[in-house]
Each structure stands twice: as C-alpha cells, then as structure tokens.
C-alpha cells in the first residue's frame, strides 16, 4: 500500500537540503515504527519517493513524499506518530492512501505554486502590479537556461500558469514544475526585473512553495494528494469498485 504524505518545511530547517530531508524521513519512519516496505539485498532501502526537490533556503506548505508500507493503523495515526518524532519545522499535515494505479510522486508533479516576498531593501523600484500585467501580455519571455551541457534558450511564458502581485512587495506564481519544464520562481522574477531594466539583487527573495500540483485526467491542476483516500476502508471500497 502506498501512502502520500504531505508536509510543511519552515524555520531553520529550511537550510536542510533535499537529500538530507530524505535521510531525515528514513530515520523518522523508523522512530515512528511505521511498517515500511524495504528493497531486498544487503543494504535494504525504504521504498519512498519525493515529489519535487525544494531548494536550500526555501520554505514550503506543500511538500510530498510517497511511502510504501505493508500495513498501517490509520492515516491519522501515521500523521500523529510522524509528528511526534519530527523536528520543529518539519510538520506532517496529511496522510492519504494512493490508488494502486497512481504514478509516483515525482513523476506526477505538473506544477507548483509559490509566494515570493522581497527581502527588505531588495524589492523592485517599479510598481509590481502594472509591471506584471505588461509582462504577461508578451507573447514570449525568452531566458537563457544554464545546463550541464551548456546553455539553451527557453520560453518562460509557456510555463507560467499564473502570476500576480499580492501586494507591493510580494508575488504569487503558479508555474510548470514537471521534470521536463521545471521553472524556478527566481527565473520568473529575474525576467520581470530585466523587463523593467533592473537587476535582481543577490538573495533578494524569500520563497515559500504553497502547493504542488498534478494534472488530472480532466487536465485540471489538483493538489498532489487530491487523488488519495483518507482511510483504508475508502481505499478498499474504491479498489473493489474498480474490480
């Protein structure tokens, strides 16, 4: 049975990198004494998968991890147990059982929503709201993306699903987060600044990922755990229906 576990990351632990968050959960799952499924061999690994890596320094309200278990007491109990052995700043907000057919967390990611706030003294000297409006009217927004193999030009516009000024000092973005077209919030803000003739100061942004989305069969963007069940009963009932 596969669980989809949603968690928040905030406070000092925002400086823990993605791989270390994975290590953290491997140990937390043991402390919580969950009935986790393992791979075989001399160094067995827990069968787990993370949705979208969160960069060092970023906070999030919408992180996801899939975890294969042999059995569970209840979704609520898994959440309670994990929170009891967690650290301040890593907080489980929901646990759901995935339908058997669901793809893994990482492959499912289609988009992510972010709130971006400017650090003191590093915000724009232009008005955000009208600038965003002008920005979105462009047919294409070309930026150069540095990759391991060199650099290539990409059109940001295709990957920006939503962009708005929340207030004079922060933005909300909903952008492509799939492995093929992942866009970082900073790339968008940099392009917006460039458009207005301003360089983006170093470390100017505080970024909070609000939610991670999958694309449903009906092509809607839904939170990654929208497809899960709250209880084993619901899961079994649904699996039974499918048969």
Partner 1 sequence: MNEKLALSDDILMKIEKPARYIGNEVNAVVKDLNNIDVRFCMCFPDVYEIGMSHLGIQILYGMLNSWDDVWCERVYSPWVDLDAIMRKENIPLFALESQDPVKDFDFLGITIQYEMCYTNILQVLDLAKIPLLAKERGDDCPIVIGGGPCTYNPEPIADFFDIFYIGEGETQYRPLIDLYKKCREEKAGREEFLRRAAKLPGMYVPRFYETTYHEDGTIASFRPTEEGISATIRKELVTDMTDSFYPMKPVVPYIKVTQDRVVLEIQRGCIRGCRFCQAGQLYRPVRERDVEVLKKYAMEMLKNTGHEEISLSSLSSSDYSKLPELIDFLMEECNKRHINISLPSLRIDAFSLDVMSKVQDVKKSSLTFAPEAGSQRLRDVINKGLTEEVILHGSALAFEGGWTRVKLYFMLGHPTETEEDIRGIAELSNKIAATFFDTVPKEKRVNGRVQIVTSTSFFVPKPFTPFQWAPQCTKEEFVEKAYLTRKAISEQLNQKSIKYNWHEADVSVLEGVLARGDRRLSQVLLYVYNKGCFYDAWSEYFHNDVWMEAFAACGLDPDFYSHRERPLDEILPWDFLDCGVSRSFLEREWQKAKNETTSPNCKQACQGCGAARFGCGICIEPRD
Give the binding site for partner 1 (CB under 8 A): 11-13, 15-17, 20, 23-24, 26-31, 33, 38, 41-44, 56-57, 85, 87-89, 119, 202-203, 206
In degrees and rounded to multiples of 5, residue 174 shows phi and psi of -120, 115
Kindly tell me which of 33 and 217 has the beta carbon lying closer to partner 1. Answer: 33
Question: How many Cα neighbours within 13 Å face the side chain of 232?
Answer: 11
Locate tokens 């791989």: which residue?
19
Distance of closest approach, residue 164 Cβ to partner 1, in angstroms: 25
Kindly tell me which of 35 and 76 has the beta carbon lying closer to partner 1. Answer: 35
Q: Which two tokens stand for residue 35?
A: 């009935």
Distance of closest approach, residue 29 Cβ to partner 1, in angstroms: 7
Distance of closest approach, residue 63 Cβ to partner 1, in angstroms: 15
User: Which of 51, 64, 175, 59 lies closest to 117, judged by CA?
Assistant: 59
In the chain, where do the E strands start and end?
Answer: 2-9, 35-36, 48-50, 59-71, 90-97, 109-118, 142-147, 150-155, 160-167, 170-176, 205-215, 221-223
Kindly tell me which of 83 and 239 has the beta carbon lying closer to partner 1. Answer: 83
Distance of closest approach, residue 88 Cβ to partner 1, in angstroms: 3
Kindly tell me which of 36 and 163 has the beta carbon lying closer to partner 1. Answer: 36
Beta-bridge partners for 3: 67, 97
Distance of closest approach, residue 98 Cβ to partner 1, in angstroms: 22
Kindly tell me which of 169 and 239 has the beta carbon lying closer to partner 1. Answer: 169
User: How many beta carbons lie within 10 A of that of residue 120, not counting itself?
Assistant: 7
SS3 state of residue 53: coil
């Amino acid at each position: 049975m596969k669980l989809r576990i949603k968690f928040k990351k905030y406070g000092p632990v925002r400086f823990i990198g993605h791989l270390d968050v994975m290590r953290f959960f491997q140990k937390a799952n043991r402390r919580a004494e969950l009935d986790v499924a393992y791979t075989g061999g001399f160094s067995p690994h827990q069968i787990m998968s993370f949705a979208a890596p969160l960069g060092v320094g970023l906070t999030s309200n919408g992180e996801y991890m899939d975890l294969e278990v042999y059995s569970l007491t209840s979704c609520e109990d898994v959440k309670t147990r994990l929170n009891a052995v967690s650290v301040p700043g890593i907080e489980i907000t929901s646990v759901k059982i995935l339908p058997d057919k669901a793809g893994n967390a990482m492959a499912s990611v289609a988009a992510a929503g972010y709130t971006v706030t400017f650090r003191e003294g590093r915000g724009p000297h232009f008005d955000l709201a009208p600038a965003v409006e002008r920005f979105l009217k462009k047919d294409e927004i070309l930026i150069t993306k540095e990759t391991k193999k060199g650099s290539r030009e990409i059109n940001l516009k295709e990957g920006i699903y939503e962009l708005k000024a929340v207030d004079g000092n922060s933005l909300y973005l909903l952008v492509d987060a799939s492995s093929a077209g992942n866009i970082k919030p900073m790339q968008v803000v940099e392009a917006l600044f460039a458009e207005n003739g301003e360089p983006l100061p170093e470390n100017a942004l505080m970024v909070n990922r609000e939610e991670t989305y999958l694309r449903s069969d009906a092509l809607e963007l839904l939170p990654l755990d929208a497809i899960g069940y709250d209880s084993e009963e619901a899961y079994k009932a649904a699996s039974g229906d499918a048969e």
